[in-house]
A and B are shown apart, each in its own frame.
Chain A
Amino acid sequence: MARTLKLRIWRGNDEDGALQDVTVEGNNGEVVLDIIHRVQATQLGDLAVRWNCKAGKCGSCSMEINGKPRLACMTQISAYGDDEVITITPLRAFPVIKDLVTDVSFNYKKALEVRAYEHPVDLKPGEARMQQVDVERSQEFRKCIECFLCQDTCHVIRDHEENKKSFAGPRFFIRIAELDMHPLDTLRNRKQSAQTEHGLGMCNITKCCTEVCPEHIRITDNAIIPMKERVVDVKYDPLRWLGSVIRKRDGIL
């Protein structure tokens, strides 16, 4: 069943731009990305939008729809009333390249700062044995499709440009947690480095990241809070602190 949709789409770049009113047909079952494509094909041939899989698996079509960070391919138009204007804007936490496309290179820079997985040197290919229950904890975080909606919504990044330097953001806290819980990873002190190098302490657990995650990863509960608790344990438990000093063990975390 066709209906007429009223959209307001951001057009412009980082320095200059405005919301443009667009009226376009929509059909039952369509998602916002379909509508944007229709606008592109029929009205605004040069409207810029990033997308790929159109099935919620690649995390490319991240944008803000009525102010909420969302994947356009997973947002049904039926969620919006007949008279409702749908406002579509680029991710606010990152510089706009053009229209709905933002420069997300910040995230790739942060990815480079998280020390990679380190395989046990004496464990040959094919010899690894792990129980399903042990890999599942990290697997939850490996579901991440890198849509960066969590990064976009996180107040530490969104409202404070100056924090970007010292704060890796929820996407990379789950990366660190994933490696920390990886049954085979040999690099020690990942939690400590989350605190000292990646700004874990700046997170004040408002759970906004968890709310927007299209993969329903429990970022705050399963990654951030457990890491924070362990970091605090060691930092403030005098016995463990003493132990780590006397025995010079770096692997206490």
Chain B
Amino acid sequence: MTQNIERYKYDIVVIGAGGAGLRAAVEAREAGLTVAIVCKSLFGKAHTVMAEGGAAASMGNVNEKDNWMVHFRDTMRGGKFLNHYRMAELHAKEAPDRIWELETWGALFDRTKEGKISQRNFGGHEYPRLAHVGDRTGLELIRTMQQRIVALQQIDARETGNPETNIRVFAEVTITEILKENGKVAGAYGYRRENGVEVLFEAPAVVIATGGVGKTFKITSNSWEGTGDGHALALKAGANLVDMEFLQFHPTGMVWPLSVKGILVTESVRGEGGILTNSLGERFMFKYIPDVFKNQYADNVEEADRWYIDQDNNRRPPELLPRDEVARAINSEVKAGRGTEHGGVFLDVSKRLSAEIIKKRLPSMWHQFYELAGVDITKEAMEVGPTCHYVMGGVEVDPDTAAAVGVDGLFAAGEVAGGMHGSNRLGGNSLTDLLVFGRRAGMGAVAYVKSHGTNSVADSTIEKAATRIAAPFTRTGGENAYSLHQELQEITHNLVGIIRTKAELAEAIEKIADIRKRSANISVTGDRMFNPGFHLAFDLDNMLLVAESTAKSALLREESRGGHTRDDFPGMNPTWRQVNHISSFDGMKVNIKAQPLPVLPKELFDLFDVHELEKYMTPQEISKGGSN
């Protein structure tokens, strides 16, 4: 088998061609290194294109009071102070530069009257902060990066005669394994989805930028690609995952028709003035403002409505609470029997804005509802409900270099990395996360390669990786990958969903283990030519590891915080705030250990009103006043 494989040598292999992967690749190429970008889809189709609302950066173009400190505070609050403070700090400080940089590569954001980049309101952000292009900001971001890579290839074409001298995109390739020699990363192994031909990349550094895990769940805004590949690859390579119990259920996914259930309805609808009502016509969010947010959110309709005109003298409408709060509120309303016919609630922007403005500011939402649900959002309300959207947990990394803890030569950035968003991500922080940490992962990998040199792959390592790829074809009459995937989705949806209990999580862990056992016997019909059943066999293996890690972490965390709600432990507990859950893999199962959360240093601690911190921290932590 090994004689028929394609072999390549690069300085750095980037797995994933979304915002983080492409930004890492640009950084590496500009530092003079050779880079392979490997992705499961065609170039330019990564899930980043689905990001709608915008990219959060405290440029202060709309409200000049904004700055990195305000953004940092909002991010920590949104994450319920479980964030890795250093990541939140770097992100808040560097986000504006990353947005402006995109302009130098040709991006065209919407403008303010003064001609600067326009910024819009979003949940949890104190000031208008999201740079945007209508509601297709992710498309602008990925296209700009894609075109930046083409620009670099054109330079190489002029200088060397070959556009792929230094940077090459391997589209529609699945990576099945990170290869290691002498305890360090030596490359990556996978196959071409088109024809099953196996591909070996020898490279001393690998950047994982594979995005999320949504397909582990039944109702999700994620595409087929979100199967936790990077999470699983990292675990298997010996890296850790941090806080995998935290999953973001976006409050507003489509609920009807069935075929589009879960597809995202951007938070911009609420940012632009959309209100949420139940089947009684009640604007219910006023009932769900938690104590920690009482000072920032209006508790009556009049004040909430005035905020759209005068933001300095009124508190924000509660529709703009962080996503976890809104998702739980919708869930409660539906459970209490006040849901819509299709099990959601109403979201209406038609009463606040004219049809013309809605079509201009929310064009793809208008299009999506009109074409797929037959609903004209300029005239009527949308029906929405929670959908699995984003995983806050991910690879444990060093914040400054994005280096994965525990594996030399491995880096991770974007959704696949953990820590940045704590227990809940604010809308708009993802796109700038990709850029800030994509760049840092690129820089980290460049520095690593320059000081470590190459690390060649042994034949025996290749044989092992090849055997694993061939395995599903050697079995007949075994399990069907599609049915196992559906079973897994039912389990996660019913037992590891928005509201969790001890008994259900324990049941989930047992059932996931059972599917895992049966998945060892998956057989595939057909051949290696673009065979989705074959592809799913590998994706499923990744999803099972992710689901196990999530269920086990969730069982241990006996509190409710952000994207983890326990019916049997409904409150937030300051002692639990000091704990990160670290997942590791021993070859058979995922093990979880508790690890202390890095403590806020004094200069960041002092950015907050101490009375606010008292709501999150223990008296001992408050009296210490930071780590130094």
Render B120-161 as a binary contact track against A, CB cut-off 8 A, 1 for contact: 000000000000011010011001000110110110010000
Q: Is A192 on the interface with B (CB-CB < 8 A)?
A: no
Question: In the bound complex, do residue B257 and residue A142 qualify as a contact, i.e. CB atoms below 8 Å apart?
Answer: no
In the complex, how many angstroms separate the beta carbon of B43 from the nearest chain A beta carbon?
A: 6
- Give A13 to B195 CA distance when docked, in angstroms: 12
Q: Is B62 on the interface with A (CB-CB < 8 A)?
A: no
| Nearest neighbor of B154 in chain A, beta-carbon distance | A116
Total number of A residues with any Cβ neighbor in B under 8 Å? 58
Question: In the bound complex, do residue A97 and residue B108 qualify as a contact, i.e. CB atoms below 8 Å apart?
Answer: no
Question: In the bound complex, do residue B105 and residue A117 qualify as a contact, i.e. CB atoms below 8 Å apart?
Answer: yes
For B150, the chain A residues whose CB sits under 8 A away are 111-112, 116
- Give A45 to B42 CA distance when docked, in angstroms: 22
For B143, the chain A residues whose CB sits under 8 A away are 142
| Nearest neighbor of A30 in chain B, beta-carbon distance | B259
For A104, the chain B residues whose CB sits under 8 A away are 42
Q: Is A49 on the interface with B (CB-CB < 8 A)?
A: yes
Q: Is A81 on the interface with B (CB-CB < 8 A)?
A: no
For A13, the chain B residues whose CB sits under 8 A away are 529
Q: Is B281 on the interface with A (CB-CB < 8 A)?
A: no
Question: In the bound complex, do residue B41 and residue A52 qualify as a contact, i.e. CB atoms below 8 Å apart?
Answer: yes
Render A171-186 as a binary contact track against B, CB cut-off 8 A, 1 for contact: 0000000010010110
Question: In the bound complex, do residue B364 and residue A139 qualify as a contact, i.e. CB atoms below 8 Å apart?
Answer: no
Q: Which of A98, A132, A142 has the most CB atoms of chain B within a 10 A radius of its CB?
A: A142
Question: In the bound complex, do residue A74 and residue B371 qualify as a contact, i.e. CB atoms below 8 Å apart?
Answer: yes
For A40, the chain B residues whose CB sits under 8 A away are 482, 532-533
For B531, the chain A residues whose CB sits under 8 A away are 45-46, 48
| Nearest neighbor of A119 in chain B, beta-carbon distance | B104
Question: In the bound complex, do residue A125 and residue B100 qualify as a contact, i.e. CB atoms below 8 Å apart?
Answer: yes
- Give A45 to B194 CA distance when docked, in angstroms: 15
| Nearest neighbor of B101 in chain A, beta-carbon distance | A125
Q: Is B574 on the interface with A (CB-CB < 8 A)?
A: no
For B108, the chain A residues whose CB sits under 8 A away are 130, 135, 138-139, 142, 182
For B111, the chain A residues whose CB sits under 8 A away are 130-132, 135
Q: Is B163 on the interface with A (CB-CB < 8 A)?
A: yes
Question: In the bound complex, do residue A117 and residue B530 qualify as a contact, i.e. CB atoms below 8 Å apart?
Answer: no
For A236, the chain B residues whose CB sits under 8 A away are none
> Given that A52-B223, A56-B368, A130-B111 are known contacts, is A115 also in contact with B154, CB under 8 Å in the complex?
yes
Q: Which of B219-260 contact A (CB under 8 A)?
A: 223-225, 256-260
- Give A43 to B214 CA distance when docked, in angstroms: 25
Question: In the bound complex, do residue B100 and residue A54 qualify as a contact, i.e. CB atoms below 8 Å apart?
Answer: no
In the complex, how many angstroms separate the beta carbon of A109 from the nearest chain B beta carbon?
A: 10
| Nearest neighbor of A34 in chain B, beta-carbon distance | B259
For B194, the chain A residues whose CB sits under 8 A away are 97-98, 101
Q: Is B115 on the interface with A (CB-CB < 8 A)?
A: yes
Question: In the bound complex, do residue B43 and residue A117 qualify as a contact, i.e. CB atoms below 8 Å apart?
Answer: no
Partner of B530, one of A52, A98, A135, A184: A98
Q: Which of B146-184 contact A (CB under 8 A)?
A: 147-148, 150-151, 153-154, 157, 163
Partner of A54, one of B43, B263, B524: B263
Question: In the bound complex, do residue A139 and residue B133 qualify as a contact, i.e. CB atoms below 8 Å apart?
Answer: yes
For B567, the chain A residues whose CB sits under 8 A away are none
Q: Is B93 on the interface with A (CB-CB < 8 A)?
A: no
* The stretch of A57-65, A149-157, A159-167, A205-213 that contacts the partner chain: A57-65
For A10, the chain B residues whose CB sits under 8 A away are none
For A51, the chain B residues whose CB sits under 8 A away are 223-224
Render B546-558 as a binary contact track against A, CB cut-off 8 A, 1 for contact: 0000000000000
- Give A115 to B154 CA distance when docked, in angstroms: 8
For B256, the chain A residues whose CB sits under 8 A away are 29
Partner of A58, one of B45, B530, B534: B45
Q: Is A31 on the interface with B (CB-CB < 8 A)?
A: yes
- Give A61 to B96 CA distance when docked, in angstroms: 35
> Given that A112-B153, A119-B104 are known contacts, is A54 also in contact with B260, CB under 8 Å in the complex?
yes
Q: How large is the interface on B (under 10, 10 to 19, 20 to 34, 35 or more residues)?
A: 35 or more
Q: Which of B581-628 contact A (CB under 8 A)?
A: none
For B114, the chain A residues whose CB sits under 8 A away are 129
Partner of B525, one of A45, A55, A142: A45
- Give A138 to B194 CA distance when docked, in angstroms: 35
- Give A36 to B44 CA distance when docked, in angstroms: 23
- Give A41 to B536 CA distance when docked, in angstroms: 11
| Nearest neighbor of B153 in chain A, beta-carbon distance | A112
Partner of B104, one of A49, A76, A125, A135: A125
| Nearest neighbor of B367 in chain A, beta-carbon distance | A56
- Give A104 to B194 CA distance when docked, in angstroms: 12
- Give A190 to B175 CA distance when docked, in angstroms: 40
For A131, the chain B residues whose CB sits under 8 A away are 111, 115
Q: Which of A89-113 contact B (CB under 8 A)?
A: 97-99, 101, 104, 108, 111-112
Question: In the bound complex, do residue B263 and residue A55 qualify as a contact, i.e. CB atoms below 8 Å apart?
Answer: yes
Partner of A46, one of B42, B103, B372, B526: B526
Question: In the bound complex, do residue B529 and residue A48 qualify as a contact, i.e. CB atoms below 8 Å apart?
Answer: yes
Q: Which of A45, A111, A123 has the most CB atoms of chain B within a 10 A radius of its CB?
A: A45
Question: In the bound complex, do residue B223 and residue A53 qualify as a contact, i.e. CB atoms below 8 Å apart?
Answer: yes
> Given that A55-B264, A112-B153 are known contacts, is A29 also in contact with B106, CB under 8 Å in the complex?
no
Q: Is A128 on the interface with B (CB-CB < 8 A)?
A: yes
In the complex, how many angstroms separate the beta carbon of A89 from the nearest chain B beta carbon?
A: 16
> Given that A58-B49, A119-B106 are known contacts, is A112 also in contact with B163, CB under 8 Å in the complex?
yes
Render B472-504 as a binary contact track against A, CB cut-off 8 A, 1 for contact: 000000001010000000000000000000000
Question: In the bound complex, do residue B223 and residue A46 qualify as a contact, i.e. CB atoms below 8 Å apart?
Answer: no
> Given that A45-B482, A45-B524, A46-B532 are known contacts, is A146 also in contact with B97, CB under 8 Å in the complex?
no
- Give A135 to B257 CA distance when docked, in angstroms: 36
Question: In the bound complex, do residue A52 and residue B45 qualify as a contact, i.e. CB atoms below 8 Å apart?
Answer: yes
For B104, the chain A residues whose CB sits under 8 A away are 119, 123, 125
Question: In the bound complex, do residue A45 and residue B526 qualify as a contact, i.e. CB atoms below 8 Å apart?
Answer: yes
Q: Is B110 on the interface with A (CB-CB < 8 A)?
A: yes
- Give A48 to B524 CA distance when docked, in angstroms: 14
Question: In the bound complex, do residue A55 and residue B368 qualify as a contact, i.e. CB atoms below 8 Å apart?
Answer: yes
Question: In the bound complex, do residue A143 and residue B136 qualify as a contact, i.e. CB atoms below 8 Å apart?
Answer: yes
Q: Is A27 on the interface with B (CB-CB < 8 A)?
A: yes
Counting from the closest, the 7 A-B pairs by CB-CB distance are: A29-B257, A46-B526, A117-B106, A116-B151, A129-B115, A125-B100, A48-B530
* Contacts A/B (CB < 8 Å), 29 sampled: A27-B258, A29-B259, A30-B257, A30-B258, A40-B482, A45-B480, A48-B529, A57-B364, A97-B529, A98-B529, A99-B530, A101-B194, A101-B530, A104-B42, A108-B43, A112-B153, A116-B147, A116-B148, A117-B105, A123-B104, A125-B100, A126-B96, A126-B100, A128-B115, A132-B110, A135-B109, A142-B139, A142-B140, A145-B139
Additional A-B contact list (18), CB under 8 Å, known A74-B372, A128-B115, A139-B108: A27-B258, A27-B259, A30-B259, A31-B259, A45-B524, A45-B533, A46-B532, A52-B41, A53-B49, A54-B223, A60-B41, A60-B42, A101-B530, A116-B150, A119-B104, A125-B103, A125-B104, A142-B140
Residues of B within 8 A of A (CB): 41-45, 47, 49-50, 59, 96-97, 100-101, 103-106, 108-111, 114-116, 118, 133-134, 136, 139-140, 143, 147-148, 150-151, 153-154, 157, 163, 194-195, 223-225, 256-260, 263-264, 364, 367-368, 371-373, 480, 482, 524-527, 529-534
